[in-house]
Amino acid sequence: MISENMKIMVGQSSAIRAMFEEGKRLASIYGAENVFDFSLGNPNVAAPEAVTRAIHEVADEPDSVEVHGYMNNSGYESVRAAVAEHLNRLHGTAFHQENILMTVGAAGGLNVILKTLLNPGDEVIAFAPYFGEYRAYTANFGGVLVEVPPKYPDFQLNLEGLKDKLTSRTRAVIINNPNNPTGVVYTDETIKGLAKILNEKMEEFGTDIYIIADEPYRELVYDGVTVPYLTKYYDNTIVGYSWSKSLSLPGERIGYLVIPDKAKDSELIISAANVANRILGFVNAPSLMQKVVAKCLEEKTDISYYDRNRKTLYEALTECGFECIPPKGAFYLFVKSPMEDEKEFVARAKEFNLLLVPGSSFGCPGYVRLAYCVSYETICNSIPRFREFADSLK
Amino acid sequence: MISENMKIMVGQSSAIRAMFEEGKRLASIYGAENVFDFSLGNPNVAAPEAVTRAIHEVADEPDSVEVHGYMNNSGYESVRAAVAEHLNRLHGTAFHQENILMTVGAAGGLNVILKTLLNPGDEVIAFAPYFGEYRAYTANFGGVLVEVPPKYPDFQLNLEGLKDKLTSRTRAVIINNPNNPTGVVYTDETIKGLAKILNEKMEEFGTDIYIIADEPYRELVYDGVTVPYLTKYYDNTIVGYSWSKSLSLPGERIGYLVIPDKAKDSELIISAANVANRILGFVNAPSLMQKVVAKCLEEKTDISYYDRNRKTLYEALTECGFECIPPKGAFYLFVKSPMEDEKEFVARAKEFNLLLVPGSSFGCPGYVRLAYCVSYETICNSIPRFREFADSLK
């Protein structure tokens, strides 16, 4: 028999993944070209050519033992130094290699930092809508995820709602900017407001509250928007990053944590996170891929591709009469369900081979998420189906 | 502040890793050629050339999105099918792709299966001496590691000791064959005895007890010894494997779990392990490397290199008067400490720049471990230092 905990988890297993599997099933019946799968954030843009070149170069490095071997559990020192310098150039920060811990993707990094920080019963705050896996990651370490309700209609951070949820048990607040599933980018003003509240509450409770900035979509922004770098706004910020989206490498599981010197108990957190990375079974981020990303720090995926998808789909859906949050980042559209129960809406869409994910998966019923990181052809071919679907709802 | 649990973990942090870091420190003082670091199981043999060729081939596959993208959390179906067929050819088993879950190394796999099986308070049995990380992996999920004392002098499994430790809370028994740290290979007879006891105890308690076979050293055997394949001896066996040692890829974090159909509740375990792999933050085994190992299933590292190290070091240490367990597998020598406190022995060895790991790290005080996966030159140059060390103890 499996554990009681896993019975629940299997029962609730990701609606996103379930829809992904359903998409493959439908494709086998109707043909892949007739199924419009907007369920999974799996980039459809190839990795930059520089990545492929870097893989060849690293594979041919003379010291194979070093390329494929163990290193410090936090990663190669040269790679960590390169990442720190890159961030300093971009953000005017002053990180050094000790602040960087290479991780098995952002999901690995989040688990490492939550293992490091949480005592059983500690609270972690997430702003709805949020990536549903945060709940499982928090539960892995006996933590409790506390939801702040959405802020309508702009889906910025609900700071008034936050005040009600902060307690002396709050250990961390997860900020996902740009946001999955809305595509909203939290503004400079929003982040300043967040920092102010957290500083006040830490004073009031006499506790340390950490921001965990989950930033896999940092580079995926449009219309010239900039994404505030949170360590500059709030000392106790730990950043989780992944190259999954920026270099289209989601399967490779490569990312990092930034644990700045300014964060409270920084040295202790750095050494504990190193141990957590090991004992959770990650051991270290994949070695060859560490060296590959270090050679590709200035590269990024073709954003214009996603931007065209974004504009085309947003325009088409709006024309069909659907109400969408205007997305400024990531590769998701968050659409208001015209039916009260958005799961019913998702089920009806599936009759048109349109695969969406219910907002309930993100703590935000009444909406659905579309991942537009698909081919442009899929976007274009889906539009007539969306029209038919919209007509069927009238 | 970090969590209470991590404070303890940081305090106890791996003596092996600590010695590895100490080795780097000493090398910076005395020169790398004058420090004889036998602390870490980091293969010194290059990966086979076929691995490098496979990396180039996979990197050049036309569908970059598929090579670096998400797949089913359990791994590419083609890779899992290839692994299943490979095992069937080797062992006459009847696995199919559903029985294989690709993991982030064996450490990742062990965490996935322990997450899947353990309720808080459940017991996991390990036979001393054992890889110390089993304790942390078990504690990650609220489990309790129960030690069976060593069986002297041959260090086979202490089956009489096992009987005393099995209870109705026993969920799993970890078997590491060939064994780290002794290099002993458990025989066919030992494994039959183990299976008999477990079957009897399951009957008695009315519970399911799983063997978790941790097998990263399976291919590293000498003198024509064979390693029993445990699924053929005991139905409730789950195998954890890694290519870290067999292909010298420890930094790449690539391995798999086998969950056979014959294991009790196999289907449920398979689907729960898939979810556990995702929510622990692994998500999936590194994608490119999955495809690489699938092309290299018939390859293995140069065993003759380790064999020469083994013979040379064993002979030299024995001549010096040290008492060693004759190793038949892996790349470790387990040496009896001539002093009662083996930590004192390790400290004295360090004065000769000989870096060893105390047996206490493996639940077996009174012994020390040497990892001989170093260069042959290191082995040869260390011998005069071992002689001096032995003389100093007289």
Which helix (H) or strand (E) covers residue B27, if one does?
helix B15-30
3-state secondary structure of B102: strand
> Are the CB atoms for A261 and A288 separated by under 8 Å?
no
The arithmetic mean of pLDDT across residues A54-64, rounded, is 97
Compare all CA atoms of chain A with the CA of B11 and give the residue at the minimum distance: A272
Interface contact flag, B282 A282, Cβ < 8 Å? yes
Cα separation, A260 vs A256, whole angstroms? 13
pLDDT at A44: 87
Cα separation, B124 vs B175, whole angstroms? 11
Closest CA to B253 of A69, A110, A384: A69
Interface contact flag, A279 B140, Cβ < 8 Å? yes
Interface contact flag, A13 B275, Cβ < 8 Å? yes
> Are the CB atoms for A336 and A367 separated by under 8 Å?
yes
Closest CA to B122 of B58, B69, B172, B65: B172
Residue B231 structure tokens = 């699924």
Residue B18 structure tokens = 């600590």
Confidence of residue A20 (pLDDT cuts 50, 70, 90): confident
Identify residue A63 by its one-letter amino acid code.
Answer: D
The ipTM value here is 0.96
Which helix (H) or strand (E) covers residue A107, if one does?
helix A105-117
What's the CA angle centered on A77, arms A76 and A81, to 5 degrees? Answer: 120
> Are the CB atoms for B270 and B259 separated by under 8 Å?
yes
Query: pLDDT below 70 — which residues of chain B?
Result: 14-15
Read off the pLDDT of residues A77-102 as tens digits, 9 standing for 90 and up: 999 999 999 999 999 999 999 999 99
Least Cα separation, residue A302 to chain B (angstroms): 13
Cα separation, B299 vs B231, whole angstroms? 23
- Residue among B59, B117, B280 minimizing CB distance to A111: B280
Compare all CA atoms of chain B with the CA of A109 and give the residue at the minimum distance: B281
Interface contact flag, B1 A109, Cβ < 8 Å? no
- Residue among B3, B265, B286 minimizing CB distance to A117: B3
What percent of chain A shows pLDDT beyond 90?
A: 92
> Are the CB atoms for B369 and B351 separated by under 8 Å?
no
The arithmetic mean of pLDDT across residues A300-319, rounded, is 96
Backbone φ, ψ for residue A391 (5° rounding): -60, -40
Cis before B129? omega within 30: yes
Identify residue A226 by its one-letter amino acid code.
Answer: T
The arithmetic mean of pLDDT across residues A1-6, rounded, is 90
- Residue among A10, A55, A208 minimizing CB distance to B272: A10
Compare all CA atoms of chain A with the CA of B250 and give the residue at the minimum distance: A69
> Distances in Å between the alpha carbon of A153 and those of A192, A237, A334, B86?
20, 27, 12, 56
pLDDT at B42: 85
Which range is least confidently modeled, A9-13, A31-35, A137-141?
Answer: A9-13
- Residue among B68, B105, B117 minimizing CB distance to A251: B68
Confidence of residue A257 (pLDDT cuts 50, 70, 90): very high
Interface contact flag, B3 A119, Cβ < 8 Å? yes
Closest CA to B175 of B127, B141, B142, B218: B127
Interface contact flag, A64 B112, Cβ < 8 Å? no
pLDDT at B215: 98
Interface contact flag, A252 B288, Cβ < 8 Å? yes
> Distances in Å between the alpha carbon of A137 and those of A40, A100, B276?
19, 21, 11
Closest CA to B64 of B288, B221, B393, B249: B288
Read off the pLDDT of residues A211-246 as tens digits, 9 standing for 90 and up: 999 999 999 999 999 999 999 999 999 999 999 999
B169: exposed, middle or buried (Cβ count in 10 Å: 0-12, 13-18, 19+): middle
Dump the DSSP string for B157-213: --HHHHHHH--TTEEEEEEESSPTTT-----HHHHHHHHHHHHHHHHHHT---EEEE
3-state secondary structure of A183: coil
Residue A47 structure tokens = 């990795």
Cα separation, A353 vs A388, whole angstroms? 11
Q: How many interface pairs between A and B have CB atoms less than 8 angstroms apart?
A: 240
Tell me the CB-side half-sphere exposure of residue B61, using CA atoms within 13 A. 16
Q: Which long-range contacts (CB under 8 A, 24 or more apart) does B267-270 make?
A: B268/A1, B268/A2, B268/A10, B269/A2, B269/B113, B269/B116, B269/B117, B269/B238, B270/B74, B270/B98, B270/B99, B270/B101
> Are the CB atoms for B70 and B283 separated by under 8 Å?
yes
Read off the pLDDT of residues A156-215 as tens digits, 9 standing for 90 and up: 999 999 999 999 999 999 999 999 999 999 999 999 999 999 999 999 999 999 999 999
Q: Going by C-beta distance under 8 Å and a sequence separation of 6 or more, which residues neighbour residue A32? A: none
Cα separation, A29 vs A37, whole angstroms? 14
Compare all CA atoms of chain A with the CA of B114 and give the residue at the minimum distance: A3
The arithmetic mean of pLDDT across residues A335-353, rounded, is 95
pLDDT at B11: 80
> Are the CB atoms for B115 and B95 separated by under 8 Å?
no
Confidence of residue A387 (pLDDT cuts 50, 70, 90): very high
Dump the DSSP string for B274-320: HHHHHHTT--SS-HHHHHHHHHTTT----HHHHHHHHHHHHHHHHHT
Confidence of residue A15 (pLDDT cuts 50, 70, 90): low
> Are the CB atoms for A129 and A181 separated by under 8 Å?
yes
Cα separation, A326 vs A222, whole angstroms? 11
Cα separation, B307 vs B220, whole angstroms? 9
What's the CA angle centered on B199, arms B214 and B94, to 5 degrees? Answer: 55
Cα separation, B196 vs B234, whole angstroms? 9
Compare all CA atoms of chain A with the CA of B289 and give the residue at the minimum distance: A252
Interface contact flag, A3 B73, Cβ < 8 Å? no
Greater confidence (B22 vs A267) lies with A267
Interface contact flag, B286 A253, Cβ < 8 Å? yes
Cis before A62? omega within 30: no
Identify residue A182 by its one-letter amino acid code.
Answer: T
Backbone φ, ψ for residue B275 (5° rounding): -70, -40
Cα separation, B356 vs B346, whole angstroms? 6
CB contacts, 8 Å: B67 with chain A: 251
Interface contact flag, A70 B250, Cβ < 8 Å? yes
What's the CA angle centered on B95, arms B94 and B98, to 5 degrees? Answer: 150
Question: Side by side, which strands form the sheet with B332-336?
Answer: B332-336, B367-371, B357-358
Cα separation, A102 vs A73, whole angstroms? 8
Can you point out the beta strands (E) in A104-165?
123-127, 144-148
pLDDT at A271: 94
Bridge partners of B115, per DSSP, are none
Cα separation, A387 vs A320, whole angstroms? 6
Residue B167 structure tokens = 């209870």
Least Cα separation, residue A49 to chain B (angstroms): 10
